[in-house]
Chains A and B, each alone.
Chain A
Amino acid sequence: MKSISCWVNDIASGKATSTEAMQSVLDRVARYESQVKAFLSQIDPTCLLEQARTLDDLRDKTGQASHGLPIAIKDNISVTGQPLTAGSKMLEHFVSPYDATVVQKLRDHGFLFMGKTNLDEWAFGSSTEHSAYHLTHNPLDFDHVPGGSSGGSGAVMGYRGAFGALGSDTGGSIRLPASYCGIYALKPTYGRVSRFGLIAFGSSLDQIGPMGLSIDDVAYLLHVIEGNDSLDETSRSFDAVETVSSDAAIKIGVPAHMNNFLDGCDGPTREGYENFLNHMSKTQGVELVSVDLSPLMSGLPIYYVIAPCEASSNLSRFDGIRYGERLTDSTLTEVYSKTRALMGQEAKLRVLVGTFCLSAGHKEAFYQKASDLRNKLSGWIHDQFDVCDAIVIPTTPTVAFKLGERMDDPIAMYKSDAYTVAVNLTGVPALSCPHVPQSSKLPIGIQFIGAQGHDYRLCEIAKRFESFFVSPDPDKE
């Protein structure tokens, strides 16, 4: 498939039209959406085509008009005038009154928005099965999950129903669906992309990031959405793109204790990852360095304290008083209880865990201890980039599992994030690239983890191995 920058150039030079671009993705949506169900709300296709045609007409007349390439947005990011549910019944009829900064930036760069994609309620989950609305199916095998929480965005990219999609990643929520649906996705350095307009889950962990069909597309979208934002005090600009020339010698960190590290991985993941290690070792200018990555695996327990603590706090605002659904009753306490009971099981579980871990008498043992360990983990990961340029590990321990398989076992579900959460805890960037091992129909993800602020460098490094990566097209299955 043609890259975003190719389309942008072709449309500008008259080699292609906005209508043609729009039609190409709408054809895919028409073919797959009724079965995959990636969207929670969609802009009417005739309306999207009309917008594209208007741009083409304008371009014919004036020689100038934006390209109008359509993007899918995870439904926890605000788009003016469009529903914003975060996959929760609490916001069933809520319409966002303002644009998230990333949405504003995409608009300014000429992109159109085709709809809001499904997610686990409040982005709590790894399979999108916790959405209060409906299941989303993996476009490569409808019996399997698309991953989560940005499962809708992953699935729509998997069936090529948009030119790019935005997701949010708190513990792996962009990379997991990328891995399961066989696409590319980047969790940027914390602070690189403004969070203004993203419904907060874990404020110190959340990061909006691009999902796409190539490394170039992902980098293109990052370039559009990144940058210091006066509305987000935790956002900042990073120095000009640092890249590596395509033949410079690079060092890739890989697990020193391979068997231990891959314990819990399924066959296809082991096979695919080992194939890639082999491929890298044969690539010129690439040196594999053994690194003790066991601290990375301590991320999961730290994450499942910090993330629920912040989530329990961030969800307090959903009380039914100013917006969203409100169930009435005779006393204020009952109004709160009934209204907040609209949240699903997983949301309730995390709010309770977070509230407990922050409460008097337990805060030291949980929140404080987890914060201290998090700081240690950050120190550790920054040191690793003294000895290597990037760490390469699988994105997830397994390929996409079956719908329903882990719904009754939260711990099994949480373990899907084993390789991703440390990245959020330490704020570094990570890129997931797809590969389909021979023994499997479903893809795995190869995850590149880089030093803080080295997002583009990470893309450059991954591009060295681009021939190895394949994004499977369900049309060709």
Chain B
Amino acid sequence: MSSQWELVMGLEVHCQLATSKKLFCGCLNQEAGDINEHTCPVCLGYPGALPKLNWEAVRLAAQAATALGCHINTTSVFSRKHYFYPDLPKGYQITQFDQPLAESGSIPIGLPKQSGFEQSVPVHRVHIEEDSAKNLHLKNGSLVNFNRASVPLIEIVSDPFVGQPHHASQYLRHVHWILLEAGVTAGNLEDGHIRCDVNISVKPVGSPELRTRVEVKNLNSFRNIERSVIYERDRQIALYEKGSSPVQETRLFNVKQGKTEVLRTKEEAMDYRYFPEPDLPVLDLEAQWIQENTAKPSVLEKKHYLMTKWGADEGQAVTVLTETGLFNLIEDTIALGADAKKTLDWALTSVLELKKKKQLPVNPTQLYELIQLVADHKINLPTAKDVLKKIAFSDAQPQVVVASDGLEMKRDDDTIREIVSAVASQNPDEWTRFCAGDQKLIGFFMGQVMRKAKVDPKLTTQILNQMRQEQP
């Protein structure tokens, strides 16, 4: 490379937020599963369907933006961005345009001094938008899988900065790391949770001008981002040195050949016809909401909290903090009103046993309901554990499962008395001995009664003792 040129880069990073539901409907945010399993009239853009904002996504987006050093705007606006493509069900993407969620962040990555930034890349803005569906191109046609349609994304846009090709990958590594630490994304690049576009231009060293830029889209590995920047930089310098110049266009990186290729030229550039989304009100975030939802305690603070407020021991606290999502699950379940100690027990035993990779089997509402069902003596602990297995990785409500499977414990005296009488008459010898005072047999009768029906153990013990005393 000729030393009289310097490289200018600007990066746009898309990151899928790890919410339980999609951005504008109740469908699960899970790309896996059968094709088009997680779809409904809203995310398929059916006639008459309207978007409903998922506040969990807003919270995660605000947390991410805060972690990226941005300022959260108390007012931001959703807009429609229009283009026709089969992966875009409504013919427009709901995104944020002139009033984004957050602005003015910075990411320290240690640039060389001459870049003008000692150690950080400025983040221009962070905004919320919905993901598109996924096209599957087959030999004799194309199909569309809408499981990804309307999954919540944030787009992180950097200001243009002068640097070396490896700074692009360094920037992406840092963003990736910060977002993972903030707990807002599953963060697998190979699964497309994080995707990157780079704007590249070159200019004479020290010149204040910005020359024609080329956008390279859809990079999803640290290595390829750097390779594509090197290729594109050299291509542009070669053009200038031949007396020609690059044209403004969008290119794709061909991983096999290590080259960028034209996707569309400026003339083919789309006019997105942005205007404010009339189906969604202006996103007003109160200062207090921002404060409460973005204040993220450090790991040490969290550990202290776990041990003092929730009664965890050292080992339990460390487990909670190293398992992805577990702290949030516990925190949110307790916030719903569940007992702290019980929540911790559940989280550290049954919940962890069912965990798959980085995915927890239940959401806070489900766990809370389950704990309450036991606390209210509606079901006993073993039943509760069975229910957990049944509802794992679904959005089924424990109460509904308990009702539909008839798992609720019998709590009325008369029913239990009837069962005890039946058991007594089937085991007359044992019953006589029990009535005569053989206290050990209470366990036997408890077992027999519980085999016949789901009963409340405390109540059954009481009734057994009462009935023994009632014997002449």
Contacts and interface: CB of A to CB of B under 8 A. Distances in A.
Given A313-B80, A313-B82, A316-B84, A204 B278 contact: yes
B50 A196 contact: yes
Contacts of B278: 202-204, 234, 310
A97 B46 contact: yes
Nearest to B80: A313
A293 interface: no
Given A196-B48, A316-B84, A367 B91 contact: no
Classify the interface of chain B: helix, strand, loop or mixed. loop
Interface string B266-285: 00000101110011110000
B173 interface: no
A96 B50 contact: no
B279 A363 contact: no
A84 B48 CA distance: 10
A322 B45 CA distance: 9
A363 B273 contact: yes
Contacts of A312: 273
Contacts of B48: 76-78, 84, 96, 100, 195-200
A86 B48 CA distance: 10
B442 interface: no
Contacts of B89: 317, 321-322
B90 interface: yes
Interface in A257-282: none
B294 to A, nearest CB: 23
Interface in A61-113: 76-78, 84, 86, 91, 94, 96-98, 100
Contact of B273 (A76, A100, A319, A358): A358
B69 interface: no
Contact of B47 (A78, A359, A367): A78
Contact of A234 (B84, B92, B281): B281
B86 A321 contact: yes
B41 interface: yes
B311 interface: no
A139 B254 CA distance: 67
Interface in B271-326: 271, 273-275, 278-281
B53 interface: yes
Contacts of A322: 44-46, 89, 144, 146
B136 interface: no
B436 interface: no
B47 A96 contact: yes
Contacts of B385: none
Contacts of A197: 48-49
A232 B50 contact: yes
B280 A233 contact: yes
Contacts of B91: 313, 315-317, 319
Contacts of A309: 275
B52 interface: yes
A76 to B, nearest CB: 8
Nearest to B272: A360
Given A84-B47, A321-B86, A203 B279 contact: yes
A32 B310 CA distance: 73
Query: Which residue of B41, B89, B91 has the most chain A CB atoms within 10 A of its CB atom?
Result: B91
Contacts of B82: 313, 316, 358
A355 interface: yes
B51 interface: yes
Contact of A360 (B41, B271, B275): B271
A197 B49 CA distance: 6
Contacts of A200: 48, 50, 279
A89 B280 CA distance: 29
A256 interface: no
B21 to A, nearest CB: 13
A275 to B, nearest CB: 40
B16 to A, nearest CB: 22
Given A316-B84, A317-B91, A233 B281 contact: yes
Interface string B118-149: 00000000000000000000000000101000
A203 B50 CA distance: 10
A133 interface: no
Nearest to A94: B47
Given A203-B278, A323-B46, A336-B84, A233 B52 contact: yes
Interface in B76-121: 80, 82, 84, 86, 89-92
A231 interface: yes
Nearest to B83: A316
Given A94-B47, A233-B51, A321-B144, A359 B273 contact: yes
Contact of B50 (A86, A195, A202, A363): A195
Interface string B37-72: 000010011111111110000000000000000000
A197 B280 CA distance: 16
A84 B41 CA distance: 14
A365 interface: no
Contacts of B50: 195-196, 200, 231-233
B357 to A, nearest CB: 32
Given A196-B50, A232-B50, A98 B45 contact: no
A363 to B, nearest CB: 7
A317 B90 contact: yes
Contact of A97 (B41, B274, B279, B281): B41
Interface in B203-260: none
Nearest to A88: B47
A332 interface: yes
Contacts of B53: 233
A231 B45 CA distance: 14
Contacts of A199: 47-48
22 contacts: A97-B46, A196-B48, A199-B48, A204-B278, A230-B52, A232-B279, A233-B51, A233-B281, A234-B278, A312-B273, A313-B82, A313-B91, A313-B273, A315-B91, A317-B90, A319-B84, A321-B89, A321-B144, A322-B46, A323-B47, A355-B273, A360-B271
Given A78-B47, A359-B273, A363-B273, 18 more contacts: A76-B48, A86-B47, A97-B46, A196-B50, A197-B48, A198-B48, A199-B47, A204-B278, A231-B52, A232-B50, A233-B281, A234-B281, A312-B273, A316-B92, A322-B45, A322-B89, A336-B84, A358-B273
Top 5 A-B pairs, shortest CB-CB distance = A316-B91, A203-B278, A358-B273, A204-B278, A317-B45
Interface of B: 41, 44-53, 80, 82, 84, 86, 89-92, 144, 146, 271, 273-275, 278-281
Interface of A: 76-78, 84, 86, 91, 94, 96-98, 100, 195-200, 202-204, 230-234, 309-310, 312-313, 315-319, 321-323, 332, 336, 355, 358-360, 363, 367
